[in-house]
Structure 1
Amino acid sequence: MAENDNTNVTGVFRSFMSPAGYTQRAKADKTRCDLHVTPAADSITGTCEYYYRPLGCAYTETVEKVSTASAWQTVKAFATSWDPWTDKELVHRLLHRREQLIPPNCTDSDWSRHSNFMMRHIGCGHKPPSYYVSYGYYYCSTYGAKLKPRLSDAGKDWLDNARWYLQSNMEDGLSQNMRGNVIQMRSRKPGNGSFTMEVKQFELELVEDTFQTFAFKTHPLAYLDGGLASLPSWDLAKLTMQPNIQEWGDGRTWEQAVDSGKVVLPQMINDSDMDDPIGKALGRLMAK
């Protein structure tokens, strides 16, 4: 092996000459910091498990022990403060499956963006973006369980499509960051927007606020490409009631609502009966 070839090294051991009766083991520095983000498998893109799989107990216990009204705030606080490396059960399980979790297009049952990050950053102090656990997994699973059954067939299809576009856009941004310092993204369908963002190569996942800003910029593209503008007004009304009130304190949430509204509102005015009070109220909301 070449001197600097440490592609598959997960730890560094140092041995020294010592007396035969010396029983203390040599110390090992178990460190790994692989900045190359490997692509997700197509079969996983579009699922909530893409972001995170609650393999340990910490996340599940956090959500189950709080009321619905305070769940989002609790999950958000948990995600930003939680150090997954202190969860011994989780760490033990993932480390024993490391080789299965880091290859490109992995389909292992324990793979997620969160677990993949952990197995590429061992002992180097980097934590997975809290977005994976909080906004990504929490909203994905909550919308699927609580919102989807209340939507029309068109609304259910939109939810599935938007989820796929959200994760596909994330994959695109991560891939672009492996190649350079600029992320450029345009909607898959004409007229649904675009954005450009400068991010130092290999560091999109490493800076918490940068990663969340990037993720939020992809949301309007995914919502609109998924068919948001063509949904009936009763589905739109249910959707606008979903984001927890605490989330609207983040300017990036307002930004994505405005960007989506620029496309949704004209379509809604053309397609809906504006004598409908729900349509009127939604129109005023989206126009702000």
Structure 2
Amino acid sequence: MTDKQDTVLGTGSAMLTPSGYQVRPKVALSTCNQIVPPAASAIIGKCPYYYQPLHGEYLETVEKVSVSSAWETVKAFATSWDPWKDKEVARRLLHRREQLIAPESTDSDWSRHGNFMMRHIGCGHKPPSYYVSYGYYYCSNYGAKLYPKLSPRGKAWLKSARWFLQANMEDGLKQNMKGNQIQMNSRKPGNGSFQMTVPRYELELNDDTFKTFAFKTHPLAYLDAGLADLPDWNWDLVRIMGQPNIQEWGDARTWEQAVDCGMVVLPKMINNSDIDDPVGKALGRLLAK
């Protein structure tokens, strides 16, 4: 990394005290390192990239809720949760801090969430809630519940989409280390692009901004992974598009990524279909404009 920030966790001063004085002086420890090191290529495409489920509070809260309330629980938990309250896990991470903040770390406890924690100690910054909620929750949920139901081509798409989602996130974080502009184009022609302005080094620091950025990368990942290339009217598409929890559709950014994907997928499905559906074909031509 060419950029450097102070990583000193604290300072203290010594003074003469009586020999029987047993109270140790307290030193406030803090660090705020906004330089985001790149992830190791070996973890790109895997769910623990976002978050390693080490915290008992997370597991107890998220994994034991009912299906009907799961998403609301995860979302509320992710925005209010203070991972530092789990002292045992915090101690485990702190003892391996240097490994967890190293560029391309292959430490078994590394994740974007844990890496953020180790770069922001005592400075008041919280990891983006996206890492725990949309990132880890959906990645693991899709793997456990959606993947077994997909055809071989659908399974290949899911694996590829997971890789593109995380590769795009890495690209955006890398760009934010260099300047205030994030510009991303699809890796396949016609799958879209986006750009947004985020102050240098601050992409991870604003929870809502980070979520907006991540959502903008989703259509590129889904389409570059081959969503539009799945067989026409395949049940895979029905199962894939039906995955987001109904509560999530209250967020305009969810509709935006669905529309962006539909602009590419739907016209191709309709134009390649043998079904005589003039209304559908008209919609396809409209979206293709």
TM-score when scaled to structure 2?
0.92
Q: In the alignment, is the contact (CA less than 8 A) between 1:38 and 1:102 conserved in 2?
A: yes
Counterpart of 1:80 in structure 2 is: 79
Task: Verify: 1:246 aligned to 2:250, yes or no.
Answer: no
Q: 1:230 to 1:112 in 2, by over 3 A?
A: same
Which residue is 2:127 aligned to? Answer: 128
Instruction: Please tell me whether residue 29 in structure 1 is matched to residue 28 in structure 2.
Output: yes
Q: CA deviation at 1:163?
A: 0.5
Cα deviation, residue 230, structure 1: 1.0
Classify the secondary structure of the residue corresponding to 1:13. coil
CA distance in 1, matches of 2:157, 2:107: 28
Residue identity (%): 69
Give the 3 Å change call, closer, same or farther, for CA 145–13 of structure 1 in structure 2.
same
User: Residue 64 of structure 2 corresponds to which residue in structure 1?
Assistant: 65
Instruction: Structure 2 unaligned segments of length 5 or more: list them.
Output: none
Q: How does 1:113-262 map to 2 (within 5 A)?
A: 113-232=112-231, 233=233, 234-262=235-263
Partner of 2:95: 96
CA distance in 2 between partners of 1:172 and 1:198 (Å) = 15
- Residue 108 of structure 2 corresponds to 109
- Alpha-carbon RMSD across the aligned residues, in angstroms, is 1.8
- Please tell me whether the aligned partners of residues 14 and 27 of structure 1 are also in contact (alpha carbons under 8 angstroms): no
Any idea what the Cα deviations from partners look like across 1:133-173, whole Å, max 9, x if unmatched? Answer: 00000000000110011111111011011100000000000
Map Cα deviations across residues 164-212 of structure 1 (whole Å, 9 max, x no partner).
0000000000000000011011001111011110000000000000000
Letter in 1 for 2:264: V
Q: Distance in 2 between matches of 1:32 and 1:14?
A: 18
User: How far, CA to CA, are the matches of 1:198 and 1:20 in structure 2?
Assistant: 58
Aligned residues: 277
Q: Deviations over 1:193-235 (max 9, x none)?
A: 1111000000000000000000000000000000000113211
Q: Following the alignment from structure 2 to structure 1, what is the Cα–Cα distance between the partners of residues 13 and 81?
A: 32
Q: How far off its partner does 1:240 sit? A: 1.5
Shift of 1:26: 1.7
Q: TM-score, normalised by structure 1?
A: 0.92
Give the Cα separation in 2 of the matches to 1:93 and 1:22.
Answer: 31
Runs of 4+ aligned residues of structure 1 deviating over 4 Å after TM superposition are: 5-8
Q: Which amino acid aligns with 2:247?
A: Q
> C-alpha distance in 2, partners of 1:252/1:8?
36
Tell me, yes or no, if structure 1 residue 47 matches structure 2 residue 46.
yes
Contact 1:101/1:115 (CA < 8 Å) preserved in 2? yes
Deviations 1:42-94 (A, max 9, x none): 00000000000111211111123211121111111110100111111221111
Aligned equivalents of 2:243 and 2:151: distance in 1?
Answer: 16
Q: CA deviation at 1:241?
A: 1.1
- Hey, what's the Cα distance between the residues in 2 that align with 1:227 and 1:111? 29
Moved more, 246-255 or 231-240: 231-240
Gapped regions of structure 1 (runs ≥ 5): none
Contact 2:7–2:31 (Cα < 8 Å) also in 1 = no
Task: Work out whether residues 186 and 220 of structure 2, in 8 Å CA contact, stay in contact via their aligned partners in 1.
Answer: yes
Indicate conservation of the 8 Å contact 1:46/1:163, yes or no.
yes
- Quote the Cα distance in structure 2 between the aligned partners of 1:6 and 1:226: 36
CA contact 1:12–1:31 (8 Å) conserved in 2? no
